Structure 1
Amino acid sequence: MNTKHYPSWPDRLPKTLTVPGTTVYDNLLVSAKRYPDKVAVHYYGASYTYTDLFLEVEGLAGFLEHSFNVRKGDRVMLYMQNAPQYIISLFAILRVGAVVVPINPMNKEAELEFCINDCGIKAGIVGQEIYENVQGLKAKTTLESILVAAYSDYLPDREIFTDLPDAVIAPAKSHSDVKWRVALAEARVPSEYTGKQGDMAFLPYTSGTTGMPKGCVHTHYSYQANIFGGIHASNAANSAVHLSALPFFHVTGVMACLLAPLTIGASIVILTRWNRQHALEMIDRYKCTNWVCISTMLVDFLGNPHIQDYDISSLRAISGGGAALPEAVGKRLHEWLGLQYFEGYGLTETIAQTHFNPPQAPKLQCLGIPAFDVDSRVIDPVTLQELGIEEVGEIIINGPQVFQGYYNRPQETAEAFVELDGKRFFRTGDMGRIDEDGYFFMVDRIKRMINASGFNVWPSEVESYLFKHPDIQQACVIGVPDPVRGENVKAFVVLHPESEGNVTEEEIIAWAKEQMAVYKYPRLVEFRTSLPTTASGKILWRQLQNEEAEKSKSL
């Protein structure tokens, strides 16, 4: 086992943890018994206790079981933005022994259609502002039942915060599917809970080098490993108040901003959408102590010209991942609030953190050291031989939070793992190095993954959509540096001869925006008469990447 990081391990922590034998649903059950009258959720001025949450989870679980006929092992789509309904839905799905399939609310109809059919989803819980992306899918997918949630159902009686998103304030609309309040009004009682630690509980989707999304099979065990690992690593307390602004569909958002705080009986303050002014007001109003974010969020927050007008001195811990925090921003944060930004590393396949920066000795722009019971190494991606200090290779991970495999994809699951010293390691596809202190650093990616504002964008998936455009003959997508988003999506496009001069780059961008999630579509398009290829016709995407890198250096 790699132990190079042991000298940097926090003195107060053991290096190993016992994963609870209980389930993720049990976490809420215990918190509701321990802290029945404590506020669990603040939502734009409204507050809900642990008892409030628990009772609504039970009611929704009864509805799913008796009205939607959801059974143990069934996959249920959870497709909405951050709101109290997201939390209630997640635990209600687990309460009936079903599997939560969290879907990015920015995904469009074609992306939803693939995921629904891929894992055989029969029921979905959907935010009403994105309901139009789902309502036509019953006829061409396995989807049979839809429950629609209006976030305004959980707002306070009087307006406390201004300029709320339209999706938040819109009243419940009429449609042919079941409304949230109607479902809860049925007051159905679910059957006895029979969940076990080894049951499949979550099926988040990720993409791979083929560009097609893949479901990552996670049990209660893998989630519990990181829930409790995160709690101990962050020295979390039940008196904490967490600003929950990261999207809950995302692995970091659901683990650090939802599941971990509610497991210990802390309070969370929900933002449906990121808004730096709302974040500022929430921290001041609710005295938020903890904030897990992505670096682009923090950069935006610190750039708010009104920040000095509010009291944010309650903040005690700011951490995150997804993209490295610029060193200058980290120094500014420390000089102003006396806080270090703690970065970490993880993937959908490991349901968030596998590495974290120790509080007593963090390093900026660093993945950190392996977490509890994690054996992480760097290997040569071709020979699979373990490499030494400062040698660049592929990061591999063995740990309790590693997923079981890709849903119904045995070949791709086999290719995702390698055996070393009798252990099964997940191949991350990320190129990194280990320094003399045992800290891991990202260098490059084997996978053609673009990191745009903390979201993973897979070029081959974007290309597959671009090829549907009637004027496009060839397309190659790469990531280019962007001072705000980290990386931007750029498409090199070859038009059909008859289309040349009849379509503009702007028209391609506008079309792409309608076809895919907002973080995926190309912000930049460059027309070419041809693309560089190998002798066999394979497009040399790395050559285009290098050309763009040279351009950025000369600017």
Structure 2
Amino acid sequence: MQPLNRIDGVVYPDAEKARFYTGCGAWERRTMGQALRDAAQIAPDQVAYVCDERRITFAQLDAVTDRLAAALRKLGLRLHDRAMFQMGTNIETAIALFGCFKAGVIPVCSIPQFREIEIGTLAKLTQPKGYFVQKDAGGNFDLLSFAADMAKRHDIPHVISTGGETVEGVHTLDDLCAESLPALDTSDEFSAGDVAAFQLSGGSTGVPKIIPRFHGEYLAHGRDWCNQYEMEAGNIGIWALPVLHNAGMLFSIVRAVIYPATTVLMPRWDVARYFDMIEREKVQFAFTIGPHAPAIASYPHVAKHDLSSLKMLFTLMGAESIERATGVCSTNMFGITEGLILTGTPGASAEIRHGSIGMRCSPHDEIRILQPGGINELPVDEVGELCFRGPSSLQGYYSAPDINAVSFTPDGFFRTGDMVRARRIDGELVYCFEGRMRDNINRGGEKFGTEDIEHLIARHPAIADGKVVAMPDEIYGEKACAFLIAREGCTLPTVKELGAFLLEKGLAKYKLPERIESCDSFPVTRVGKLDRAALRALIAEKLAQEASK
């Protein structure tokens, strides 16, 4: 299906591809808003979301988001205007998202951890007209005051807040949802082929890359993934991570309306409460990543909880230890916002579920393992770069022609920069993750590049030069380590001092280096370029030596 209204800077699938994917069912023929309306008709009294002690049914969610969509248009937001999001994991976020989907306003899926650098860059790229913010989503950081300040700096006319007191000139979500206005008819404005959301990609640079996700494509992507776990209407899932991440959108937003299905939302992570909620709500499907996985696997009181409702638990890595600890069928998986998901299935052997990241979800996904940086395809059992194309593949980053020029093979396969090895296990072609080519860091599921950190480090008066690389961590998978060269006659800052300096410059807290290594020079390759691999190996070896003492 072709879009009714195109956005400059968005790369759309060509007409032939659109006809094929729509015709074979690889894309849905409806919008996100229509999917919610359908869910409300099918199961009006079923609970859509549970959060703490609050519940909302699909009929209630449909009605309140109709009111919000109309209120957003009355406020002055128009078709395909962008809205920045900095909200937490709660029902208000779901309401705000579906209100935008129905109004044709495009959420820019930021996260509460972003600060001046990230929000400023996104604002310049997307020119948002709205800003949804949850005051208390930033912990001790006042997100509302921050959002109001950023809105002034970047000429964002409408700030909408939830979670506590507001400030002058800021609208509240509750007030907008309380307005009684005629429902919108947007059938001639946008369709399943139009942009639903701007998702963000973590990468090797400090500049956020924006990924347009389309209504029908996004719905089908979530459907094909969740169908791998044999989900059904009425199933209950639990989500304890950011809703605005791509995984959060697919599991807690798309999954909810596709089936329809109930989602238990956890605003704050607490492993004991996680198990309590699984038991209380009779959760059947649980998804976790990053530091939550080892916390689940090491929770000492699993036996005290009734987990008999759980059918499947899926995680990016660590499925074997989770299954051993809980007795629940668990699988590793792989997901990338650019449009590919790989996963094991309930019927797969433990070797597949635990020893790989699984297999493709859509029969239309094409996967190639290529020689890194090249176009030669490698045979099974050889390690190479994971490249793919398919119904949910990125067509091109938003307004980024230079990046797009190097992100795809000549025949349209997206280059992930991830190294994998294909294997045949039990007759299935599965994939094993072997690391990354690029220099981004994955701290508990938050991926970020090092360019912006190094740029700010260079401003420190005591530092002559600094490079940041990933170092291994048992809980978060990776953390940032800074290799620093001191200016002559100066003493390098401590980790705490450097962190305070970077925070003051506007860097997000989760990007802060958590270890400093002093050095006189940086290793280089044979052609004289910085050898980041050598720096990563150096800190990994040092950490291993320290752990063995």
Q: Distance in 1 between matches of 2:469 and 2:263?
A: 37
Q: From 314, 322, 327, give the equivalent of 1:319.
A: 314
Task: Give the SS at the match of 1:501.
Answer: coil
The RMSD of aligned alpha carbons is 2.1
* Deviation of 1:526 (Å): 2.0
- Is 1:368–2:381 an aligned residue pair? no
On the 8 A contact 1:126/1:146 being kept in 2, the answer is yes
Q: Distance in 1 between matches of 2:318 and 2:324?
A: 11
Corresponding residue for residue 35 of structure 1: 43
Structure 2: any 5+ residue segments left out of the alignment?
A: 1-23, 137-142
1:523-542 counterparts in 2 under 5 A?
523-533=514-524, 538-542=529-533
Corresponding residue for residue 95 of structure 2: 88
Corresponding residue for residue 288 of structure 2: 293
1:156-175 counterparts in 2 under 5 A?
171-175=164-168
Q: Distance in 1 between matches of 2:433 and 2:297?
A: 25
Deviations along 1:128-178, whole A, 9 cap, x unmatched? 12223211113321422100011xxxxxxxxxxxxxxxxxxxx43444411
Deviations along 1:97-132, whole A, 9 cap, x unmatched? 121211011111221111011111111111112223
- Is 1:385–2:373 an aligned residue pair? no
Corresponding residue for residue 423 of structure 2: 435
On the 8 A contact 1:65/1:190 being kept in 2, the answer is no
Deviations along 1:295-334, whole A, 9 cap, x unmatched? 531321243344333322221111122xx2164x14514x
Q: From 131, 134, 154, give the equivalent of 1:127.
A: 134
* Deviation of 1:239 (Å): 2.4
Q: Distance in 2 between matches of 1:326 and 1:31?
A: 32
Corresponding residue for residue 324 of structure 2: 332
What is the one-letter code of the residue matched to 1:136? D
- Is 1:251–2:239 an aligned residue pair? no
Q: Distance in 1 between matches of 2:284 and 2:291?
A: 20
On the 8 A contact 1:78/1:89 being kept in 2, the answer is no
Indicate how the Cα distance of structure 1 residues 468 and 349 shifts in structure 2: closer, same or farther if over 3 A, else same: farther
Q: From 91, 111, 114, give the equivalent of 1:104.
A: 111
On the 8 A contact 2:48/2:58 being kept in 1, the answer is yes
What is the one-letter code of the residue matched to 2:502? A
* Deviation of 1:37 (Å): 1.4
On the 8 A contact 1:394/1:430 being kept in 2, the answer is yes
Give aligned pairs, total. 507
Q: Distance in 1 between matches of 2:78 and 2:166?
A: 29
1:18-417 counterparts in 2 under 5 A?
18-67=26-75, 69-129=76-136, 130-150=143-163, 171-194=164-187, 195-294=190-289, 296-321=291-316, 324-325=317-318, 327=320, 329-333=321-325, 336-337=326-327, 339-350=328-339, 353-361=340-348, 362-372=352-362, 373-417=364-408
On the 8 A contact 2:465/2:486 being kept in 1, the answer is yes
Deviations along 1:349-408, whole A, 9 cap, x unmatched? 11xx42121322233142211221111110112431111011111110111111221111
Indicate how the Cα distance of structure 1 residues 522 and 51 shifts in structure 2: closer, same or farther if over 3 A, else same: same
What is the one-letter code of the residue matched to 1:348? T
Corresponding residue for residue 9 of structure 2: none
Task: Give the SS at the match of 1:349.
Answer: coil
* Deviation of 1:17 (Å): 4.9
Task: Give the SS at the match of 1:135.
Answer: helix
Task: Give the SS at the match of 1:494.
Answer: strand
Q: Distance in 2 between matches of 1:305 and 1:342?
A: 21
Task: Give the TM-score taking structure 1 as reference length.
Answer: 0.86
Corresponding residue for residue 476 of structure 2: 485
Indicate how the Cα distance of structure 1 residues 126 and 386 shifts in structure 2: closer, same or farther if over 3 A, else same: same
* Deviation of 1:528 (Å): 2.6
What is the one-letter code of the residue matched to 2:414? F
What is the one-letter code of the residue matched to 2:474? P
* Deviation of 1:509 (Å): 2.8
Q: From 482, 487, 490, give the equivalent of 1:496.
A: 487
Task: Give the TM-score taking structure 2 as reference length.
Answer: 0.87
On the 8 A contact 1:476/1:539 being kept in 2, the answer is no
Corresponding residue for residue 425 of structure 1: 413
- Is 1:506–2:506 an aligned residue pair? no
- Is 1:520–2:530 an aligned residue pair? no
* Deviation of 1:518 (Å): 3.3
* Deviation of 1:534 (Å): 5.7
* Deviation of 1:519 (Å): 2.5
Q: Which moved more, 1:487-496 or 1:477-486?
A: 487-496
Corresponding residue for residue 12 of structure 1: none
Q: Which moved more, 1:471-480 or 1:511-520?
A: 511-520
On the 8 A contact 1:116/1:142 being kept in 2, the answer is no
What is the one-letter code of the residue matched to 1:183? L
